[in-house]
């Protein structure tokens, strides 16, 4: 293999036995607060950008895998190179060096993106598509708090409060300062993404302006409050989903007779693709079920129509075909 830039493995701080034991103990305590045990997979795939959060995810996943009875036989880091920064190759090499230090597997995936509008959203979608649904993500409690606020700003309700779920995010119980500490303990210098401080992006402004302001107003750290509220909202949302599962969303009469909160959730589950439908779409479908309208567009070239008190989800007729009739 040809030499790679910055490919030398990070070296943990030199320490005597006592210090090494203290480092091990601190890492173990942080691993205890993660939810790797709930994942129940023999192979853990970690999305690792090279930043502190994702690097800590990899370190703590390896820690968990070393435990007797963990059931984990392999940990692999997957690094996605978006092709947006000249340092991309060097960043991949740093992640590979960390994998070498930890005894983890490594692979790199390349996606093609160009600068322009909605760059962060496009990068996130491309990254998630490349990683697949099984990859673990290094989101922390700070990310959860930011996500709650961002989704509320976009008009979300209960599911916005529920924000991110822990099934793929074992670090939601940790703070960003703690992932930085994990990197320090293993001697790894995290990659710094300049977009995290770019005020053009909403998340950056929420992180650096909104949350500090809320902390100042409240006179306390609001991140644990937002994260705790998110967990409570998620439990409520899950209960509503269980209750809504008994409603047939294609039956107009069932939608009309159900409590409106459950009818909305049944419709959301029915229409969901990669993203749930917005509130306006759900309300229009309810109007169809109430016989106020006969049909409505629901996005993605689809519409819901009613016939004999049954709702049907169908492809909308393209305008060109309508005009030719």
Q: What is the token pair recorded at 221?
A: 């750290």
Written as one string, the DSSP assignment of 142-161 is HHHHHHHHHHHHTT--HHHH
Q: Which pLDDT score is estimated for 8?
A: 39
Q: Which pLDDT score is estimated for 125?
A: 77
Q: Which residues, 6 or more positions from 315, have their beta carbon under 8 angstroms from its beta carbon?
A: 301, 302, 303
End-to-end CA distance of the chain: 64
Q: Which pLDDT score is estimated for 230?
A: 96
What value, to the nearest 5°, has the Cα angle with vertex 121 and ends 5 and 237?
120
Long-range contacts (CB closer than 8 Å, 24 or more residues apart) made by 157-164: 157/279, 158/233, 158/236, 158/237, 158/240, 159/233, 159/237, 159/276, 161/229, 161/230, 161/233, 162/230, 162/233, 162/234, 162/236, 162/237, 163/230, 163/233, 163/234, 164/139, 164/230
Q: Measured between alpha carbons, how far is residue 9 from residues 43, 81, 98 in Å? A: 23, 20, 6
Residues of the chain whose pLDDT is less than 50?
1-10, 319, 321-325
Q: Which pLDDT score is estimated for 1?
A: 33
| Cα(305)–Cα(244) distance, integer angstroms | 21
Q: Which residues, 6 or more positions from 16, have their beta carbon under 8 angstroms from its beta carbon?
A: none
| Cα(178)–Cα(180) distance, integer angstroms | 5
Question: What domains can you pick out in the chain, each with its CATH number?
Answer: 17-140+175-192 (3.40.50.620), 141-164+201-244 (no CATH), 246-324 (1.20.59)
What is the DSSP-derived secondary structure letter of residue 266?
H
What size, in residues, is the chain?
325
SS3 101: helix
Q: Which pLDDT score is estimated for 324?
A: 41
Provide the whole-model pTM: 0.83
Q: Which pLDDT score is estimated for 95?
A: 95
């Amino acid at each position: 293999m040809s030499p790679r830039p910055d490919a030398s493995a990070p070296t943990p701080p030199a320490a005597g036995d006592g210090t090494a034991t203290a480092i091990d103990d601190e890492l173990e305590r942080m691993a205890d607060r993660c939810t790797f045990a709930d994942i129940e997979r023999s192979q853990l795939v970690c999305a690792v950008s090279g930043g502190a959060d994702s690097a800590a995810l990899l370190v703590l996943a390896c820690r968990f895998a070393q435990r007797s009875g963990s059931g984990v036989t392999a940990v692999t880091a997957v690094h996605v190179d978006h092709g947006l920064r000249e340092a991309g190759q060097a960043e991949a090499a740093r992640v590979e060096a960390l994998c070498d230090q930890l005894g983890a597997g490594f692979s790199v995936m390349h996606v093609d993106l160009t600068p322009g509008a909605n760059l962060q959203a496009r990068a996130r979608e491309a990254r998630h598509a490349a990683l697949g649904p099984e990859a673990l993500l290094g989101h922390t409690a700070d990310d959860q708090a930011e996500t709650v606020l961002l989704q509320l700003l976009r008009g979300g309700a209960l599911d916005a409060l529920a924000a991110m779920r822990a099934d793929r995010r074992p670090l939601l119980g940790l703070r960003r300062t703690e992932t930085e500490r994990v990197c320090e303990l293993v001697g790894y210098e995290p990659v710094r993404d300049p977009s995290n401080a770019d005020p053009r992006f909403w998340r950056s402004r929420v992180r650096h302006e909104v949350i500090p302001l809320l902390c100042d107003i409240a006179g306390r750290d609001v991140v644990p409050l937002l994260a705790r509220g998110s967990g409570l909202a998620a439990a409520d949302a899950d209960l509503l989903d269980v209750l809504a599962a008994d409603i047939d969303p294609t039956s107009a009469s069932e939608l009309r007779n159900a409590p409106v909160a459950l009818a909305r959730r049944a419709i959301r589950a029915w229409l969901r693709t990669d993203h749930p439908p917005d509130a306006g779409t759900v309300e229009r479908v309810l109007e169809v079920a109430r016989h106020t309208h006969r049909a409505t567009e629901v996005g993605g070239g689809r519409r819901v129509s009613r016939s004999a008190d049954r709702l049907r989800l169908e492809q909308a007729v393209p305008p060109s075909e309508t005009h030719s009739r």
